[in-house]
Every structure is written in structure tokens, then in C-alpha cells.
């Protein structure tokens, strides 16, 4: 009897031991959330690893620092937030696994393709809208959807075999596909080749692109977001509105020549018509604003055009001191859609609110007030007279920022712009300088 009791006791201990071990093992390996720190971590959990100054990862031949300075973070805008409030793609269990990445998505940084480089984003890059719900409009903006790239394609001019346009290139996504973090997560702005592209614009206008390595480098900027990991600083809306430096990272470009020829397909036409205008490489809005000061000499080889840059002709008062978001910001609700501005919005030009009189009611304001571009009847806007530029042999509607006060007597502006025999039918036949009143 005694031996039987001892045997039963041993069996009971074995069963209890197995049950206990199984329970503990189950706790440590289960994947569903529990109350242990790995699943719902405080920032202290993250800082166990991320306050190690040597913590980093290597992607190819590039290095991403993963060290976060706890004292700097405590002074940051989001110091009251948990790390996982933004890094929503991190799942904790004995640390966390590799985070899914979308390669490409930081302006011009890393290789210009979708291979594995530090040019990547994670869910944290777009997590801002989880709290800042009033800025959801950004997710339907041109900057986020990259519609211009997605809709690009190349076609052949049947008359002469010239290739027009450029096929969609996924490798260019990172150039334009912005996220919240692209603008708001502070990073170091880097120019590939240091210098001012405007110093070379005369050569480019007269001769076209003759040194693409130099010129491309002068227009190519990057945002190195890895320089801000330690501090996790975010730029506020007010900070961004007070400077155009961030816009410059994308909107730096050049003019290739003045008398370039481009092609477009009119509505309901199977063939292409051509327009002569100024060639544009990338998007030089930032540099165009400098011309409004009237102190950047440019030689186009066309005297009548060069005269337009005279200080008494350039609109160098109000527009010269404008920043990008002064015009591309109709209201707080639209700040992240960055809609095209209207000259009549926000009371900027109240004296011009009255509609433009006939026969100019189908003419865009900038078609008269742009200093350099030719104009065309844009088939995508109901044949409205708009400014034309040439990119990849294709005519596009281009709103240059070099604005003038056109004067029919001093510059023969209206004759040169529309009312002559070389405007591909945009205006009336050449007759005389128009000096009448356009605005009612």
C-alpha cells in the first residue's frame, strides 16, 4: 500500500510538471496579443535596443542608423506618442521581425530604381494621417498618386517617325511619389553637384544640353532622411511655409533651348500637330522665381525676348517675395492637395476679378503674363490658350513663374505671342500691336 501511494505521488508530480512546462511554453510562443511587454510595448521597450549608439543596418553599400537619442526625442513634437503609434507595422514578440519596406519614396535618395537601397519607406511614412485626419486630402494629391508619371506614355509621330513623350518608368517613382515623412521628417538636403544652374541658362538656351553630367548634377537634389533618425525631428506646417527650400529639392530644372519643336495630338485626330516653344528639363519653378527680382542676366539670342527681363518689365515687386505655399495654398483644407493657384484667389488681384473681355475670354491669365513661353490651344482644356513647353518632344501646359506686365507698345508682346503667322493658328493673323484693354 505504501509502495502504491509513493508511485501515485511520483506520477502526480510528473503530470503537474508536464502541465506547468506546457503552460509556460505556451505563454512564450503564442502569437496573439497578451499583457506582456512584447505585445503592447512602452517606449522603454523600444529604447532597450534603439538607444545603443552603434545600432545600424546595412543595405547594399549604404548604412541606415537605428540609434535614437532619448533626450532629443523627449524634446520632439511627438514625445508623448508611443513609438508603435507611428510604426504600426512593428509586431513584437521577442523583439520584432524585419519590417516590410517599399523601396523608393524619398526624393532622389539612393539609386534611381526600386532595388534595395536606403531609398525606402515603411508604414510609418504615411502614419501621420491616423492622427492628422484633417490632412487626408494628401492621399488624393498629385504628389502622392504620381499621376503624371503613371499616365505617361510614348508614341510615334506618323509624319516623321519622331518619338514623342516618355513611357511610364517605375524607376522614377521615387522622384515624385512623396509621403508625409518626405516633407515633414527633417533630413539633410544634398545637391549632387554644388552650384547654381541659372549661371548656365544662357548656354542652355542658346545651345541646348551640351554637358548633361554637369547640368543634371546641378538640378539633382536629395533628402537624406537617415541624418534625422537620432532626433526624430518633424517640420511643422509653419516652418515649411516660411521657406521654399524643400520645394527646391524636386522643382529645380533648366531650359534646354528656346526654339524647340514639340508635338501634340488634337482631340479626335489620329495625327500630330507641332508647336514651337521653349524646352524644359525637369521642373525649374524654384529658379524661375529668381527672375522676378530682375537681377539674373540671361542671353537667349533673341533681343525682343531678352528685353523682357529688364527690371522695369519684370513683375519684381509682390511676386518676388512670394514663397511657393503663398500661392499654392488656397485654404487650410487644401494645403496638402497643393492645387494650382488662381490669380484671382484670396483677393490677390481683386481688380482683375471681372472676367477677361472678348476676344480673350478663352485665354489663361498666364498666357499673357508669362515672359518666355509660347502659347498654344490646349486640346485637354477645351482649346483654351495656355502656355506651352516642350519635354521629350511633347507639348505640355507649363505655368512658368517668370511673370511680366505685358506691354504691346514697348515689347511688341501681343504680336510676338499670338497675333502673327507663326503661332500655329493660336491667334489672329499678324496685324499690329494690341494696345487696347483686355480686362473689363
Does residue 112 belong to any structural domain of this protein? Answer: no
Radius of gyration of the chain (CA): 30
Percent of the chain with pLDDT over 90: 15
Q: Region of 161 please: left (phi>0), alpha (psi -120 to 50) or beta.
A: left
User: Within this chain, do residues 92 and 134 fall inside the same structural domain, yes or no?
Assistant: no
**Any idea what DSSP says for residue 293?**
T
Q: Do 299 and 164 share a structural domain?
A: yes
Does 260 share its domain with 133?
A: yes
Q: Do 128 and 228 have their domain in common?
A: yes
Residue 382 lies in a domain: yes
Backbone angles phi, psi at 14, to 5 degrees: -65, -45
Predicted local distance difference test score (pLDDT) of residue 102:
83
42 shares its domain with 162: no
Same domain, 142 and 42: no
Domain check: are 88 and 205 in the same one?
no
Beta carbons of 204 and 215 less than 8 angstroms apart:
yes
- Structural domain ending residue among the three candidates 82, 97, 112: 97
Residues 200 and 275 occupy one common structural domain:
yes
Q: Which stretches in the chain have pLDDT values below 50? A: 1-38, 315-316, 428-433
What residue numbers bound the domain in which 372 lies?
120-417
The per-residue pLDDT for 295 is 67
> What is the number of domains present in the chain?
2
| pLDDT for position 388 | 87
Same domain, 78 and 130: no
The pTM assigned to this predicted structure is: 0.78
| Grid cell locating 148 | 503624371
Inside any domain, residue 78? yes
Is 45 part of any domain?
A: yes
Q: pLDDT tens digit string along 178-217? A: 889 989 999 999 999 999 999 998 899 888 888 889 998 9
Q: What integer pLDDT is reported at residue 419 of this predicted model?
A: 72
What are 56's strand-pairing partners? 65
pLDDT single digits (tens) 115-136? 788 888 899 998 998 999 888 8
Asked, for residue 423, whether it belongs to a domain, the answer is no
Query: What's the pLDDT at 369?
Result: 81
**Per-residue model confidence as pLDDT tens digits over 299-330:** 877 776 676 655 555 544 567 777 887 777 65
In a domain, 5, yes or no: no
- Do residue 181 and residue 284 come from a single domain? yes
Q: What is the pLDDT of residue 268?
A: 59
Q: What are the C-alpha distances in Å from 225 to residues 228, 278, 357, 404?
A: 6, 35, 50, 38
pLDDT at 150: 72
Give residue-wise pLDDT tens across range 367-397. 888 877 888 888 778 878 888 889 888 888 8
- Judge whether 209 lies within some domain: yes
Residues 89 and 127 in one domain: no
First to last CA, the chain: 118
306 shares its domain with 413: yes
Q: For residue 297, tell me if it sits in a domain.
A: yes
Amino acid at each position: 500500500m505504501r509502495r502504491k501511494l509513493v508511485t501515485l505521488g511520483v506520477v502526480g508530480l510528473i503530470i503537474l510538471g508536464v502541465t506547468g512546462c506546457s503552460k509556460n511554453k505556451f505563454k512564450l510562443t503564442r502569437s496573439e496579443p497578451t499583457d506582456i511587454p512584447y505585445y503592447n510595448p512602452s517606449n522603454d521597450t523600444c529604447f532597450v535596443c534603439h538607444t545603443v549608439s552603434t545600432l545600424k543596418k546595412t543595405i547594399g553599400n549604404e548604412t541606415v542608423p537605428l540609434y535614437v537619442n532619448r533626450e532629443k526625442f523627449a524634446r520632439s513634437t511627438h514625445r508623448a506618442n508611443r513609438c508603435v503609434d507611428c510604426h504600426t507595422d512593428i509586431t513584437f514578440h521577442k523583439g520584432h521581425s524585419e519590417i516590410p519596406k517599399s523601396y523608393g519614396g524619398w526624393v532622389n535618395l539612393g539609386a534611381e530604381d526600386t532595388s534595395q537601397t536606403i531609398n525606402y519607406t515603411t508604414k510609418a511614412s504615411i502614419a501621420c494621417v491616423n492622427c492628422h485626419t484633417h490632412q487626408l486630402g494628401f492621399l488624393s494629391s498629385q504628389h502622392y498618386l504620381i499621376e503624371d508619371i503613371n499616365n505617361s506614355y510614348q508614341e510615334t509621330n506618323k509624319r516623321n517617325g519622331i518619338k514623342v513623350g516618355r513611357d511610364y518608368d517605375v524607376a522614377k517613382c521615387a522622384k515624385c511619389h512623396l509621403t508625409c515623412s518626405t516633407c515633414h521628417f527633417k533630413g539633410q538636403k544634398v545637391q549632387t553637384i554644388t552650384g547654381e544652374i541659372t549661371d548656365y541658362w544662357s548656354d542652355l538656351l542658346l545651345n541646348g544640353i551640351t554637358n548633361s553630367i554637369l547640368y543634371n548634377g546641378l538640378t539633382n537634389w536629395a533628402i537624406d532622411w537617415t541624418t534625422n533618425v537620432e532626433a526624430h525631428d518633424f517640420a511643422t506646417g509653419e516652418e515649411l511655409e516660411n521657406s521654399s527650400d524643400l520645394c527646391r529639392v524636386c522643382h529645380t530644372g533648366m531650359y534646354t533651348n528656346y526654339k524647340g519643336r514639340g508635338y501634340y495630338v488634337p482631340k479626335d485626330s489620329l495625327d500630330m500637330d507641332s508647336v514651337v516653344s521653349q524646352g524644359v528639363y525637369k521642373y525649374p519653378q524654384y529658379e524661375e522665381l529668381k527672375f522676378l527680382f530682375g537681377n539674373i542676366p540671361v542671353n537667349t539670342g533673341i533681343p525682343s525676348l531678352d528685353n523682357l527681363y529688364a527690371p522695369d518689365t519684370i513683375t519684381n515687386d509682390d511676386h518676388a517675395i512670394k514663397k511657393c505655399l503663398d500661392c499654392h495654398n488656397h485654404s487650410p483644407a487644401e494645403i496638402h492637395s497643393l492645387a494650382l493657384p488662381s490669380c484671382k484667389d484670396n483677393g490677390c488681384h481683386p481688380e482683375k476679378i471681372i472676367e477677361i473681355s472678348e476676344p480673350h475670354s478663352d485665354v489663361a491669365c498666364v498666357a499673357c503674363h508669362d515672359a518666355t513661353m509660347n502659347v498654344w490651344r490646349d486640346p485637354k482644356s477645351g482649346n483654351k490658350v495656355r502656355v506651352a513647353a516642350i519635354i521629350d518632344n511633347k507639348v505640355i501646359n507649363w505655368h512658368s513663374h517668370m511673370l511680366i506686365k505685358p506691354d504691346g507698345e514697348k515689347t511688341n508682346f501681343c504680336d510676338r505671342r499670338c497675333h502673327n503667322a507663326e503661332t500655329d493658328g493660336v491667334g489672329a493673323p499678324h496685324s499690329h500691336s494690341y494696345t487696347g484693354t483686355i480686362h473689363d
